Amino acid sequence: REEDDVGPLARLGRGQLLLFTPPTVRMLSHLRADTEPFGSSCAIGPSPSLAAIDLPAPDTAFAVELTARAAAAPAFLVVGLGAQNVPLGSGCRSLVGLQLAVNFTLADGGGIARFALPVPNDLALRGVRFFTQGAVWNPAQSPLGSVTLTSGLQITIGD
């Protein structure tokens, strides 16, 4: 038994804490699940926005919701491993670098688009950080002529 063990629920030297909620036992660590907005949006008038639904942890049905502000509008989500700040013109910026995927869906009648980003049950993913930015096809409110952009969302997978 290690000196830093404080009973069956804590292994402080390893940075681990077990959360016991019958019938589930979950290991907690210093790797906290988190989402944080960054950068700025780009639109004429109300801007689209991007928000996380729940927290990104292993074995969760994590998703992000894009408030498109336009019913049935085509909506895109760019997912990447890095952040960038590349000017696109008219004050708009591309905020996601090292792109992994571009997801597409249509906003519902209320102007909301939901993108599922499920996190597999793999503890090795804890601490992985990725970045997202949304785009909505809305020529009437676009300073670029075709799309409006959300601010970015930094996502960290954790406990």
Q: Report the b/e string of 57-80 with b at 16+ CB within 10 A.
A: bbebebebebbbbbeebbbbbbbb
Asked whether residue 6 carries a pLDDT value surpassing 50, the answer given is no
d(Cα 2, Cα 16) in Å, to the nearest integer?
Answer: 13
- Of the candidates 9, 50, 52, the one whose C-alpha atom is nearest the C-alpha of residue 33 is 52
- pLDDT value of residue 25: 66
The model carries a pTM of 0.82
Instruction: Name which residue leads in pLDDT, 31 or 141.
Output: 141
pLDDT digits (tens, 9 = 90+) for 52-90: 999 999 999 999 999 999 999 999 999 999 999 999 999
DSSP code at position 7? S
Asked whether residue 123 carries a pLDDT value surpassing 50, the answer given is yes
- pLDDT value of residue 7: 44
Instruction: Name which residue leads in pLDDT, 30 or 136.
Output: 136
